[in-house]
A and B are shown apart, each in its own frame.
Chain A
Amino acid sequence: MWDLIVTELTRATREIVASTAHFLPRLLEMLIIVVVGWIIAFLLRYILRSVLRLIRFDKISEHAGAAQLLNKAALPAPSELLSRFVFWLAWLGFILIGINVLGIVGMQEHISNFFGFLPRLFAGLFFLFVGLLGASFFSRAALLAAVNANLPSPRLISSMVRVLIVVFTLSMCFEEIGVAERTVIVAFTLVFGALMLGLAIAFGLGGRELARRYLERRFLYDDDKKEEQDELSHL
């Protein structure tokens, strides 16, 4: 009996020792991977930051108004943000590889899923970034054009341009990432439809006045029209 216990214990101990001995190198391997990963991620961040600075990425995004957007959200400069993002992504990847090495059952499938998802995430984020930049640029262009053409409600026009572009961008982004595709499409359709309806109603109601004024100016008050043409020459 005792012998049996001793034998079992010995075997268990041996097994524990054996599995520990088996596991320890893997753990070491994982730790090495994580540390090396950190170094590689750090280097990546450093290189990316330099490259972005070299191509004056901040200036480019500043033109489009992205910098202000980030400023408002109390976020760092776009180049910093991007390099940090890449750093974490890279390191996370290494950590996951490390965990994979540990050989924990069930983990591996998730991890491979995660890596499969990465390119789509990148693409989605890229769309989002470009879209937001474009929205900012074009909404400002619309605002300036509307002001200089003396159109009514330039900010409304500008906001509409922005919203349209943002909504369109988001839908593309989500579709790319593949998150709840159907939901997003339905939601987008709803938002877009509502927006158009709202616009139609707004123009219908507000535009009545506008149309009347236009027609009056065109046909009734000729003097008014003449007055519009200033005899100013600038150059």
Chain B
Amino acid sequence: MAEESILTDDFLRELMNVGEVDILIGVPTLNDAATVGQVVQSIRSGLLKYFPRQRSVIVNVDGGSRDSTQDIVRAASISDLAPGTNPSALRTLHCISTTHERSTENGTGLHTIVAAADLVRATICGVISPDSVSIEPEWIERLLRPVSRDNVDMVTPIYRRNKFDGLLVRNLVYPMTRALYCKQVREPHPADFAFSGRLASFFLEQDIWSQAVIQNGAETYFVISAITGGFRLTQSFLGSRPRVDHSSGDLVQALRQSVGVLFWALGKNFPTCPANSATETITATGADAEPSMEPVRVNRKRLYQMFVHGLEELNPVLNSILSASTLAELNQAAATGEDRFQYSDDLWVRTVYEFASAYHKEVISPDHIIQAMAPLYRGKTYTFLVENRDSSAGDVENNVENLCLTFERLKPYLLEIWNGRK
């Protein structure tokens, strides 16, 4: 039996009409009619303004929207069929859309995008999240220019964020990626990013697409494999990215998307870079990552309670994941009460490393390991919120930097427990 193609016949026909292009921008969507129009218009303006001579295409890969998402994207096309829509455009701009029924996760979406990029031989590829409502045409330039001009292979974003925004990235994904791979990528789970055609082909050829874990967080895997593959990375400051409501809802899903992929990829790439080697800063163009300081409404008490409750209830599960000493320390810390409770960086890093090691050894089902992490992450979030309640932007950065250093310092511990018995 022939292997099923990820590209439908209709989509293939559309790609045929698009033909060879220089730039491909992918927009994975699912019921994003409210925002996708604005995002696609900005992409289009950016392409017209900064890349008027390049052959471009906007590819929407939809997870089966029930709203008008796909129609909105298609309507942004520039062609002679709708004359006068954009007389200043030199070229036809195809905005095409395809649906995949395989899953609602974005792994298939990104798979389709890199497959399309490879087929139409795009040399510059970008992925823009339909949630990025604050996108401006300049984002396109900042993301794509390093690829087109400087021969960079991957451009990850830096956003101006609220200081309590993206806590999982700040407290785990960024520091751990940095410690493991010795590259300071601020957003290892980027919503908007760009990569070269060379890298797109590299991604496509990887034998990863059937993995469940990739379905959840292909972006993170992209970043990691770009690092381990020795590709050239850079970062671009884009601007502020508004908080996205629906992704904050499900913590476990967020953990699967980022931490799950991080742990899984570690199994493939271990032992990554040498333990005590210095991490390499990645040049960032126009970097201005200073967080904004607006207060955020959080029920800290509830966060703490969920941590304690989870720790208590999950003790038998955690017992099979964590070392006895770590678990004991955790129990001890939890017992101190809400006011005095502190989840120290040291303990947090050991917790994370032991989780990573347990994931590798598959002591229980990997997905259960990721799920078991949620209450502990809540505890760390609580500490972070308390510690940085009145901190300035600089203080927050310092704290994150310190956590990074702790991750780096304890890396030998990870190496030690990686293959040893628990």
Contact = CB atoms under 8 A, between A and B. Distances in A.
The short answer to whether A and B are in direct contact, CB under 8 Å, is: yes
Interface of A: 59, 62-65, 68, 137, 140-141, 143-148, 150, 154-155, 227-228, 230-235
A148 B247 CA distance: 16
Top 8 A-B residue pairs of the complex, sorted by shortest distance between their CB atoms:
A234-B168, A233-B248, A234-B254, A144-B371, A154-B313, A227-B299, A147-B310, A231-B296
Contacts of A63: 362, 364-365
A152 to B, nearest CB: 9
Interface in B363-403: 363-365, 368, 371-372, 374-375, 381
Nearest to B300: A230
Given A147-B374, A233-B247, 12 more contacts: A140-B364, A143-B313, A154-B313, A228-B302, A230-B297, A231-B296, A233-B167, A233-B243, A233-B244, A234-B247, A234-B254, A234-B258
Interface in B285-340: 296-299, 302-303, 306, 309-310, 313-314, 317, 320
B317 to A, nearest CB: 6
B313 A155 contact: yes
Given A228-B299, A233-B243, A140 B368 contact: yes
A211 to B, nearest CB: 20
Nearest to A149: B252
B189 interface: yes
Contact of B309 (A59, A137, A147, A235): A147
24 contacts: A62-B362, A62-B364, A63-B364, A63-B365, A65-B364, A68-B320, A137-B365, A140-B368, A143-B314, A144-B317, A147-B314, A231-B243, A232-B248, A233-B243, A233-B247, A234-B167, A234-B247, A234-B248, A234-B251, A234-B254, A235-B169, A235-B189, A235-B191, A235-B247
Contacts of A147: 309-310, 313-314, 374-375
Contact of B314 (A64, A144, A232, A234): A144
A68 B173 CA distance: 31
Contacts of B343: none
Contacts of A68: 320
A159 to B, nearest CB: 11
A231 B254 contact: no
By size class, the interface of chain B is 35 or more
B263 interface: no
B136 interface: no
B407 interface: no
A232 B169 contact: no
Interface of B: 164-169, 173, 189, 191, 243-244, 247-248, 251-252, 254-255, 257-258, 296-299, 302-303, 306, 309-310, 313-314, 317, 320, 362-365, 368, 371-372, 374-375, 381
A12 B317 CA distance: 74
B375 A232 contact: no
Contacts of A154: 313
Contacts of A235: 166, 168-169, 173, 189, 191, 247, 254, 257-258
Contacts of B374: 147-148
Given A147-B310, A233-B243, A233-B244, A227 B302 contact: yes
A224 B365 CA distance: 36
A156 B232 CA distance: 52
A188 B169 CA distance: 51
B371 A148 contact: yes
A62 B363 contact: yes
B317 A233 contact: no
B246 to A, nearest CB: 10
A231 B298 contact: yes
A213 to B, nearest CB: 14
Given A143-B314, A147-B309, A154-B313, A232 B298 contact: yes
Given A59-B362, A65-B364, A230-B303, A148 B252 contact: yes
A64 B365 CA distance: 7
B247 A140 contact: no
Contacts of B166: 233-235
A93 B243 CA distance: 69
Contacts of B251: 148, 234
A61 to B, nearest CB: 11
A233 B165 contact: yes
A168 B46 CA distance: 62
A232 B191 CA distance: 17
Nearest to A158: B313
A232 B362 contact: no
Nearest to B311: A147
A140 to B, nearest CB: 6
A64 B317 CA distance: 12
A235 B372 CA distance: 18
A132 to B, nearest CB: 15
A145 B253 CA distance: 12
Nearest to A63: B365
B368 A141 contact: yes
A62 B365 CA distance: 9
